[in-house]
Amino acid sequence: MGRNPGDLLIFIGKRLLQLIPVVLGVIILTFICTHLKLVGLCNAVYPHASPEVIAACNAKYSAPLLTQFVQYLTSLFQGNWGASPLGTPVYPAIAADLPATVELVLAALFIMVVIGIPLGVVAAQYSGRWADHLVRIFYLSGWATPTYLGAVIAAVFLGPALGLPSGGEYSTVVPPFPQYTHMSVVDAIIALNFPYTIDAIEHLILPASVLAFINMGIATRMTRASMLEVLPLDYVRSARMKGLGEFWVLYKHALRNALITTTTVLGVTAGGLLAGTVVVEEVFDWPGIGQYAYDAVGGGGSTANFDGAIAVVIIFAIGVVVANMIADIMYGVLDPRVEWR
Amino acid sequence: MTEPVLQVNDLTVTYTVGAGTFFAVSDVSLQIEPGQVVGIVGETGCGKSTLAKAIPRLLPEPPASIGSGAIIFRGTDLVKVGRRQLPMVRGTGIGMIFQEPLNSLNPAFRVFDQIAESIRIRHYREMGWLRSFQGGEQPFDYSKPPITTTAAGSLSKAIVPPAAEEAVKDRLATRSQFREEVLSYLRLVRINDPETILNLYPHELSGGMRQRIMIAMALSEKPSLLIADEPTSALDVTIQAQVLTLMKELIDEVHAAILFISHDLGVIAETADEVGVMYAGRIVEYGPVAEVFRDPRHPYTKMLLRAAPAHYKNDGPLSTIPGSVPNLSRPPPGCRFHPRCSLARDVCRGENPPLAPVDPAASAESPHIHRSACYFQSEVPNLR
């Protein structure tokens, strides 16, 4: 049949194997891009550093490119993600930052699903009428907003207006409980700290909403398009003829089938969202991997961190592949005609 | 005499597409009594399916619109029922079996869930948990075991139990009772291995199987009126015969009022009590099946019958009706059949003939007598 749990495991295994060439390609490309022209780089990047630091930096980057690459790969396979030129190791920073980003992306996806998909249904239901046009204006304005502008407007105007915080994960820099997962809301829940849970959610709302608003168009548009495809089909008519009210016809019978396409697209988007958080995290001071990436490439006057940049790109690539895999699994869960292969 | 289940009075349905208006159904009148099977026959594009879908108000409005007339179902005019009340009429009031069994079941749900949903709707309405449609003085309950001569008669008692108040209350209380109810409807439509079928998805079933499940789904709501819109047309011949046999047996068993739409004269002859012949959106001839088919009084019916293949007819090619169905955005004036009719005279081109009783002595009041919309109906038997 091709739909047993065993088949699913084989499917996931195959997808994970596909990760290897993707990640290798990503490493090579990023490595070349970051290491191509390094003459005098250490001086340029660390103008005020002590001569010892610059000497160490030069020593690290003076070997032939291939040698450096082999060194990097070897250490990567040994579990060593490298360090910044100043000696800060990459791995602990990423391990702490990635969960925060994943949390932000999941929250944005949640908003996209909960608001974007019903809007798509409404748009399809009233296609060509004013409700449809209103929805289109809504998602197109999101689509047309540059991320930095949307983020700044939300942080500067919307946050104070709604009484929502627009910076950081909590109101205090260090919360009074251990950070097991580095996801602000989850950690607060684990600590059973109710006030901090609310606080964490309040801090999450604005950045997640901005991210969701900007990407809402994908969810809404796909839902609208696939609903319009599904609505004239015979089984929707059968559902009406059963005596079901319009709500159940739309949200159970039609949407269930329309979601199959939407889910696939949302999975692809989720991978992209991961990388798209850089600006939002920077504006909202969200301690995620996007902010780390921004610093790693020398943004905001920080010191360049090539090992960190490569690591972030690898993480983003893995994120895209995994998000696609989850979308494929969801596709099979939603559509009983799909077989795992 | 009992109140008719359905009374359609001078129904006109139009489609507005772009600037054009199509008169898909014009001035159609019908009456269906409890337990009666009325067939509608006609060529493709004559408005049969539009009529079938217009009755439960299933046509998308716009582009379709009910121009005039009334659809009186158990005493309530469905044309005047609000959009939000319509679902209450459907399912338990009017059930429907569609032409395309391949696409009529939702591909995302198992057979069990789809039938269970229908039973749940009916059950909730019976229990009064959901508002249901209350039309007429006393709701007609076809589920009473009918007096039947078929061997299946004894079966029907067990499968369609009387809807006595106490019985209903206890019947579907537990999960296993509910499951048993679903199974009973699968058995009703002669599915051999219902336990297995329950857990399958529609794409794992054949066309004939899916149509049986559609029929089970419609019957499980115990509708007062069942509309079968070409239920066998999309199936291949052997499956068609099986489903038709099943339909005939079920007609005897469940004793529902049925509106049976088909382009197949043989199917109508086998299933229906009365038949209406449609041409270009109008009913041109109506009457008891035997009378209409033995002694057609409209040139169109006569030619349609002659064009039908029959096993005894092996002399030469089948005859055809010259010309084609008129464009319904500009129907011909007068009798719509006159451009193709050899009997046509000036009066046919000017005025539309009324559906007049064939037997002048018959009471014009009864809707069930043989009528024909032809000025020269007495000449039709001599038509060559």
| Number of A–B residue contacts, CB under 8 Å | 76
Least CB–CB distance from A234: residue in B90, B93, B103 = B103
Q: Which of A121-135, A316-330, B55-69, B213-227 has the highest mean pLDDT?
A: A121-135
Q: Give chain B's mean pLDDT.
A: 76
Sign (positive or negative) of CA dihedral B320, B323, B326, B332:
negative
Least CB–CB distance from B58: residue in A240, A334, A336 = A240
Rounded Cα distance between A91 and A98, Å, is 10
Q: Does A3 touch chain B (CB under 8 A)?
A: no
Residue B274 has pLDDT above 70, yes or no: yes
CA of A197 to nearest chain B CA: how many angstroms apart?
Answer: 38
Across residues B339-345, what is the average pLDDT?
75
Across residues B204-219, what is the average pLDDT?
85
- Name the nearest CA neighbour of B223 among A242, A235, A249, A248: A242
Question: DSSP label at A89?
Answer: B
| Per-residue pLDDT tens over the stretch A200-249 | 888 888 999 999 998 888 889 999 999 999 988 888 888 888 888 888 88
**What pLDDT is recorded for position A224?**
93
CA of A242 to nearest chain B CA: how many angstroms apart?
Answer: 4
CB pair distance less than 8 Å for B91 and A242 = yes
Adjacent-strand bridge partners of B20: B17
CA of A8 to nearest chain B CA: how many angstroms apart?
Answer: 19
Tokens of A25: 């390609």
Contacts of B201 in chain A (CB under 8 A): 336-337
Contact (CB, 8 A) for B76 and B136: yes
**What pLDDT is recorded for position B375?**
77
Residue A1 has pLDDT above 50, yes or no: no
Query: In chain A, pLDDT over 90 holds for what percent of residues?
Result: 12
Chain A from 228 to 247: CB within 8 A of any B CB: 233-235, 237-246
Least CB–CB distance from A242: residue in B100, B110, B118 = B118
**What pLDDT is recorded for position A120?**
93
Residues of B with CB under 8 A from a CB of A: 56, 58, 84, 87-96, 98, 100, 103-110, 117-118, 121, 125, 201, 203, 214, 217-218, 221
Report residue A46's pLDDT band, with 50, 70 and 90 as the boundaries.
low
Query: In chain A, pLDDT over 70 holds for what percent of residues?
Result: 92
Contacts of B126 in chain A (CB under 8 A): none
Burial of A240 (0-12, 13-18, 19+ CB in 10 A): buried
Query: In chain B, pLDDT over 90 holds for what percent of residues?
Result: 0
CB pair distance less than 8 Å for B201 and A235 = no
Rounded Cα distance between A121 and A132, Å, is 9
Adjacent-strand bridge partners of B66: B13
Report residue B222's pLDDT band, with 50, 70 and 90 as the boundaries.
confident
Residues ≥6 apart with Cβ < 8 Å to B80? none
User: pTM score, two decimals?
Assistant: 0.79
DSSP letters for B112-159: HHHHHHHHHHHHHHHHTSS-----SSS---TTSPPP--STTHHHHHHH
Contact (CB, 8 A) for B288 and B273: yes
CB pair distance less than 8 Å for B58 and A237 = yes
CB pair distance less than 8 Å for A242 and B109 = no
SS3 A254: helix
Instruction: Provide the CATH topology of domain A90-334.
Output: MetI-like fold (1.10.3720)
Chain A from 103 to 142: CB within 8 A of any B CB: none
SS3 A98: helix
CA of B96 to nearest chain A CA: how many angstroms apart?
Answer: 7
- Which H or E run contains B257? strand B257-262
**What pLDDT is recorded for position B152?**
35
Q: Give chain A's mean pLDDT.
A: 83
Contacts of A254 in chain B (CB under 8 A): none
Selected residue with higher pLDDT from B170 and B355: B355
Q: Which domains does chain B have, with CATH numbers?
A: 101-265 (3.40.50.300), 280-384 (no CATH)
Report residue B144's pLDDT band, with 50, 70 and 90 as the boundaries.
very low
CB pair distance less than 8 Å for A241 and B91 = yes
Tokens of B49: 């399916």
Residue A151 has pLDDT above 80, yes or no: yes
Query: What is the residue type of B158?
Result: A
**What pLDDT is recorded for position A2?**
59
Min mean pLDDT across A297-301, A320-324, B230-234, B297-301 is at A297-301
What are the extents of the domains in chain A?
90-334
Adjacent-strand bridge partners of B183: none
**What pLDDT is recorded for position A107?**
92
Across residues B340-349, what is the average pLDDT?
75
Rounded Cα distance between B322 and A101, Å, is 74
**What pLDDT is recorded for position B315?**
61
Burial of A296 (0-12, 13-18, 19+ CB in 10 A): buried
Rounded Cα distance between A223 and B371, Å, is 52
- Name the nearest CA neighbour of B132 among B168, B105, B97, B177: B168
